[in-house]
Amino acid sequence: MKRHGLTLVRRNYRVAAGPRARGGEVDLILRDADGTLVFVEVRSRSSRAFGGAAASVSRSKQRSIVLAAQHFLRAVASPPPCRFDVVAIDGEHVEWLRAAFDAA
């Protein structure tokens, strides 16, 4: 991702929602060359069986990532454009899915 002009902002950003509610986590937060903040989920599977790594980013997981991203953005005075990417690792195959999902 660095070779594509992205710079690391934060790694493993976690937020707790409360004693009875699940929090959220973002594996990587990067800044793209155009200023966009990129929230990245990294998933790894030994093979593509059962849909592979990309398919394992469920709606529930997406909500968790969005929750953490919203929390992170509260500390930013003027939030830039954002996107949610997934890096899917299936065995030796690595795929970078830009704008894999949105906050809606």
Q: How far apart are CA 16 and CA 47, in angstroms?
A: 31
- The mean pLDDT of 12-41, rounded to a whole number, is 89
Residue pLDDT, tens place only, 6-20? 999 999 999 987 666
pTM of the model: 0.91
Q: Are 42 and 84 in contact (CB under 8 A)?
A: no
For the chain, the average pLDDT equals: 91
Task: Measure the CA dihedral 9/11/12/13, to 10°.
Answer: -20
